[in-house]
Structure 1
Amino acid sequence: MANGAPVCGPISTFSRVRILHALFESGTAQIRGTRTIGELCEATGLHPNTVREHLQRLIEGGYVIQATEHRTTRGRPRTLYSAATGTGDASSPIARDKAKAAAQRGDLLRRMLPATASALGRDATYQLDALIEHLEESGFEPVVDDEQLTVDLTPCPHAAGRAEDRPMLCSVHLGLMQGVLAEAGGPLAAEAVRASGLPEECPPLECTVQLRLTEMTAA
């Protein structure tokens, strides 16, 4: 990453990436879309205390939702965890508040620098505000192209990581960006992460996020 700044946010460690990946891929859990601590430990190989610590950080960031199991039989209800996807029961109040705060900061910036305004409309602009703050929190330096609907994330702060870990990392980060855009509400969705290059190459790994307008907006 530029200037040697540390990578932070929801994907600051590969342990968190593995936990988030297990939540995004939780179709085999006992209750679809959710995982227990035990299931996450089994999926990641991490100690329960480590999983709990990372989950708490992810909940505080608005990326994971915690709920209590509704039981119809006797027994202590379990605590269930799911990824905040921004839709239905998987919407995080923390993530919504972060999106509103990002929009307010974006409006302030646009009043001072009118040239920074997007031509995509208010709702899409607020989505980009939330997405940019999420990316900056995650250690990226995003450059948005309103016309091509792309976000350039080069240089990627994760370029020096193991090549075999990159597919999971990109998949998780795409899911996080989709959740951020959904929580903000609007016509934009994250469609794909395009990455190329090798960790030892210079310049570092090239990384671009492709956005798209929903069919409803296009119509």
Structure 2
Amino acid sequence: MATAGPVCGPISSYSRVRILHLVQTRSDRTIGELSDATGLHANTVREHLQRLIDGGYVIAQTEHRTVRGRPRTLYSAATGAPGASSPVARDKAKAAAARGDLLRRILPAAASDLGRDADAQLDALIEHLEESGFEPVVDDVQLTVDLAPCPHAAARPEDRPVLCRVHLILMQGVLAEAGGPLTAECVRGETASECTVQLGDLRGVTHGMA
């Protein structure tokens, strides 16, 4: 039986997951707000935010003030939507698509029946999940992504809903950033032994049916 690899990348720390969850649920957070919500020192929050920015998961903007005083830095999730997109995330998506195109030129059989845009989205999604410590198995007929075993399996059971929610939103952002018809609809199972992402196709194409 395969074992999950070590949790790695910018969201390897549950503290960073908590911070990311907060900026996903509301944009334009300040370090003070995040420090109060997590109980972490402001300098620790700042360090975690920088890791998330470097990973393409968070964007920082300077607030526009109409009163005197030093403007604050506001932090939001990089969702892939216009105005909420990270240059790091855009570069990752482009690089993943380029590597995928090269592979499919060498091995044409590696292409799916979904089309180039959807293939590029899957390229970006797979690289994101591997960076996060998963060993994703994609079924491009049923449009599912098997994430078992989960590298977060050792997390406290009460933490799993937040972990799964954060990862789902990240996957939605990665697919949106890559651009194409595929979306991440939900995570099924959410246990250490069963965790499957159901993808959707905005073109209304039915997959996996006779």
Q: Structure 2 length normalisation: TM-score?
A: 0.93
Superposition map of 1:1-219 within 5 A = 2=2, 5-26=5-26, 33-197=27-191, 204-214=192-202, 217-218=203-204
Cα distance between partner residues in 2 of 1:3 and 1:196: 17
Shift in Å, 1:159: 1.0
Q: Structure 1 length normalisation: TM-score?
A: 0.89
Shift in Å, 1:34: 1.3
Please give the secondary structure, in 2, of the residue aligned with 1:189.
strand
Q: 1:3 to 1:177 in 2, by over 3 A?
A: same
Contact between 2:182 and 2:199, CA under 8 Å: does it hold in 1?
yes
Contact between 1:11 and 1:173, CA under 8 Å: does it hold in 2?
no
Shift in Å, 1:6: 2.1
Q: Percent identity over the alignment?
A: 76
Structure 2 counterpart of 1:209, one-letter code: V
Which has a greater percent of helix? 1
Cα distance between partner residues in 1 of 2:58 and 2:2: 28
Contact between 1:8 and 1:137, CA under 8 Å: does it hold in 2?
yes
Shift in Å, 1:196: 4.7
Aligned CA RMSD, in angstroms, stands at: 1.6
Unaligned runs of 5+ in 1: 27-32, 198-203
Q: 1:210 to 1:4 in 2, by over 3 A?
A: closer
Unaligned runs of 5+ in 2: 206-210
Q: 1:176 to 1:196 in 2, by over 3 A?
A: closer
1:17-41 deviations in Å (ceiling 9; x for gaps): 1001111112xxxxxx210000111
Contact between 1:8 and 1:139, CA under 8 Å: does it hold in 2?
yes
Cα distance between partner residues in 1 of 2:3 and 2:154: 15
Cα distance between partner residues in 2 of 1:112 and 1:183: 25
1:101-153 deviations in Å (ceiling 9; x for gaps): 00011112112222211111111110110000000000001111111110001
Aligned residues: 205
